Amino acid sequence: MGANKTKLILLGAPGAGKGTLAKMIQAELGFVHLSTGDMLREAVKEGTELGKKAAGYMNEGKLVPDDIVIGILGERLLAEDCEKGFVLDGFPRTRKQAVALEDILRGERMSLDLVLNLETPEEVLIQRLSGRTQCESCGAIYHEENIPSRDPGVCDKCGGKLYQREDDRKEAIEVRLRAYREETAELIDFYSEDGLLKSVDSGKDVETAFKQIAAGLKDG
Ligand code: AP5
């Protein structure tokens, strides 16, 4: 699959399918998948200073402070592999992060090509988050009903153990969805005004959403 647009953001609520689709884009196109959630979870697992600061916010479902997240993402974006193309998953999540991203990219003589807004009904988001499992070794994402692994609890790709994320508890899901509505949803207008936004129906199966994304990457 060829693509004219190589620097993109996947915008969407928790459970919209950002991680699932970003992994597909990475596999098909070789773009670097940049997930601030994955970076933060890794820091928590390794027990770094950053991880210790972030863990409390994440487990409760709250956003980690902007300065921390802008710092880690900003550093990662400077790596050479991002020049070929990247897909941002979970960043930016606030207006401050969106403005910081513009500054970082401008400094590197890069700019965004496309922002894909994954539209998903709220009841679907809750069903997805409640049944999600993930491989602790390779990060592959499953769902107990929608996208089950062949052997329950075991990753099809690497044989690793599947686990449930700490923030996929009911109370934390509610906090995350509220944070999305109050702090992130305004980015839809922010990027519409720039003419960068395209909507994707992410409420159906993964293949349908991926086809829409692939078409959007070739347009124009
Ligand atoms: P993060 O890891 O970014 O989580 P999120 O945005 O809440 O998104 P999710 O990973 O939960 O969902 P997703 O859209 O990737 O869906 P997925 O593909 O997994 O952030 C976690 C935390 O880190 C935040 O709460 C915050 O504390 C902190 N953080 C991260 N970035 C930050 C930032 N920039 N600023 C501040 N704090 C930040 O799919 C979900 C499930 O649905 C899976 O089970 C999947 O198999 C299934 N599924 C996916 N698509 C479909 C489909 N089409 N049909 C059926 N099932 C599907």
| 100 inside domain | yes
Contact 28/85 with Cβ under 8 angstroms?
no
Q: Give the residue-averaged pLDDT of 60-81.
A: 95
Ligand 1 centroid to residue 99 C-alpha, Å = 22
Question: Using a 6 Å cutoff on CB, does residue 17 contact ligand 1?
Answer: yes
pLDDT for the residue 56: 95
**Is it the case that residue 171 has pLDDT exceeding 70?**
yes
Contact in structure between 177 and 123 (CB atoms under 8 Å): no
Does the global pTM surpass 0.75?
yes
Within-domain flag for 73: no
Question: Per the domain annotation, does 159 fall within a domain?
Answer: no
Distance in Å, CA 162 to ligand 1 centroid: 16
Q: Which residue has the tokens 């200073």?
A: 49
Structural domain harbouring 176: 7-31+85-120+171-219
Has residue 115 been placed in a domain? yes
* Cα(100)–Cα(165) distance, integer angstroms: 28
Pocket of ligand 1 contains residue 20 by CB under 6 Å: yes
Residue 134 lies in a domain: no
Length of the chain: 220
Q: Is residue 181 part of a domain?
A: yes
Q: Is 135 in the pocket of ligand 1 (CB under 6 A)?
A: no
pLDDT score at 99: 97
Answer yes or no: is 50 within a domain: no
Of all protein residues, the one whose alpha carbon is nearest to atom 43 of ligand 1 is 132
Q: Which atom of ligand 1 is nearest to the CA of 20?
A: 18
Is 76 in the active site? Answer: no
Quick check: helix, strand or coil at residue 77?
helix
Give the mean model confidence (pLDDT) for residues 93-98.
98
Place of tokens 């620097």: 7
Query: In this structure, what CATH number is given to the domain that contains residue 24?
Result: 3.40.50.300
Number of independent structural domains in the chain? 1
Q: Does residue 44 lie within any of the structural domains?
A: no
